[in-house]
Amino acid sequence: MLKNYFKVTLRNLVKNKVSTFINLFGLSIGLSACVLAFLVINFELNYDNFHSKGESIYRVVRDEVSDSGEKRNASTPFPMRSALINDYPELLGVTQVFYPQEYQLQWEEEKWTQNDIIFSDSNFFQVFDFEVVTGNPIASFRKPNTAFITESMAKSHFGGDSPVGKVINFSEIVDVEIAGVLKDAPGNSHLPFSMIVNMESFNDEMVGGFKYDSWGVNIGFAHYVMLPEGMSKADFENQLALLPRKYLKGESAENTHYTLQPLREIHFDKTYAEFNPGYTVDTSYLYVLGFIGLFILLLACINFVNLSTALALRKSREVGVRKVLGATRMQLVYQYLGEAFLLTLLATLVALGV
């Protein structure tokens, strides 16, 4: 019986080529648009979700109150790393990152400009989960003038050769040795990079001779902390309130406040968007995109039903003949549902291909 249903369904679809094509095309486009919209939404909502300890990771951000109003920034002073480690030993992890910049690199005779280069310390790999291909970043990053590069950078400049052990001149300032290779960071990471350099390699010349290592300077360093189990965001923020009074002077001590920003909210928080190396997105746009995807799918379904209904009127003679030959009502229902199911299946396959 099923074989007969299938044969008749194929014959009907081939017989009505125009209506079959219109139905298939319309439904495929609708499904494609809907699937694409929800893939984008899923991608955005899963920003930074690949970090296994993500729920415990926070970025320390700075709020300043002055006569001109309130200023918020994710850039925090360079000495904060030492202060966090020394003053709050209960923290499970503290890491410092100098956010992505563009530098001139040279290896042998080849020179190129590389963007998305960050500086950090060995704790970076204890806090964040970036997959290592070769090398031991925790051990290697205790040595000055070492770096890890991503697979894509390794392929671009070293081809099939292993880059480990090769020395790159960094902006004609310092030579750094490649200690290992990392998997490329996922696209939905707020911290994109192609190269991560040991923080001990950072010096004044990297920022044009500017003195950056004082509490009164904020030029691009960010600090991330990993809270222990049982400590809430509010609990630690109460402790952070002591930092400005201890290390800052004058009005800055009174007007500066440090708070925590959850890692998984960075991508959606426009408050500090100017400082984020990636980009931020308003969740309301994701709702709009989801609505548009569902609306397009609904239009495609309505179009599909209308065309199927119009075609059903032309099948009245076939229905009459089948009834005369003894077909039951349910057999006719199964036949036409089978046609709709097969057409929908084909449209789904086309949509997935698209």
Of 55-59, 167-171, 275-279, 284-288, least confident by mean pLDDT is: 275-279
- What's the pLDDT score for residue 301? 85
Judged on CB neighbours under 10 Å (0-12, 13-18, 19+), 87 is middle
Q: Is the pLDDT of residue 278 over 80?
A: no
Q: Quick one: pLDDT band at residue 192, thresholds 50, 70, 90?
A: confident
Residue 260 and residue 231 in contact, taking contact as beta carbons nearer than 8 Å: no
Check residue 78 and give its pLDDT.
92
Q: Of 71-75, 262-266, 300-304, where does the model show the most confidence? A: 262-266
pLDDT of residue 317: 64
d(CA 102, CA 118): 9
State residue 331's pLDDT score. 66
pLDDT at 235: 93
Predicted confidence (pLDDT) per residue in 126-183, tens digit: 999 999 999 888 888 888 899 999 999 999 888 778 899 999 998 888 899 999 999 9
Q: What is the 3-state secondary structure (H, E, C) of the chain?
A: CHHHHHHHHHHHHHHCHHHHHHHHHHHHHHHHHHHHHHHHHHHHHCCCCCCCCHHHEEEEEEEEEECCEEEEECCCCCCHHHHHHHHCCCCCEEEEEEEEEEEEEEECCEEEEEEEEEEECCCHHHHCCCCEEECCHHHHCCCCCEEEEEHHHHHHHHCCCCCCCCEEEECCCEEEEEEEEECCCCCCCCCCCCEEEEHHHCCHHHHCCCCCCCCCCCCCEEEEEECCCCCCHHHHHHHHCHHHHHHCCHHHHHHEEEEEEEHHHHHHCHHHCCCCCCCCCCHHHHHHHHHHHHHHHHHHHHHHHHHHHHHHHCCHHHHHHHHHCCCCHHHHHHHHHHHHHHHHHHHHHHHHHC
pLDDT band at 270 (very low <50, low <70, confident <90, very high): confident
Is residue 158 within 8 A of residue 165, CB to CB? The reply is no
Q: What is the mean pLDDT of residues 297-301?
A: 88
First and final C-alpha spacing in the chain: 34
pLDDT-derived band at 226, boundaries 50, 70, 90: very high
- Kindly report, residue by residue over 81-107, the tens digit of the pLDDT: 999 999 999 999 999 999 878 888 998
Distance in angstroms (rounded) separating the CA atoms of residues 126 and 164: 21
What percent of the chain has a predicted confidence (pLDDT) above 70? 86
Side chain identity at 148, as an amino acid letter? F
Mean pLDDT is highest, among 2-16, 295-309, 318-332, for 295-309
Buried b (16+ CB within 10 A) or exposed e, 98-117: bbbbebebeeeeeeeebebb
Highest mean pLDDT, choosing among 45-49, 279-283, 309-313, 320-324: 45-49
Q: Tell me what pLDDT residue 11 has.
A: 63
User: What's the full length of the chain, in residues?
Assistant: 354
Average pLDDT value for residue range 53-60: 95
The neighbour count for residue 157, using CB atoms within 10 Å, is 17
Q: pLDDT band for position 203 (50/70/90)?
A: confident
Predicted confidence at residue 251, as pLDDT, reads: 78
Q: What is the pLDDT of residue 326?
A: 63
The whole-number pLDDT of residue 144 equals 86
Return the pLDDT at 5. 54
How does the average pLDDT of the chain come out, rounded?
85
Flag whether pLDDT at 322 surpasses 70: no
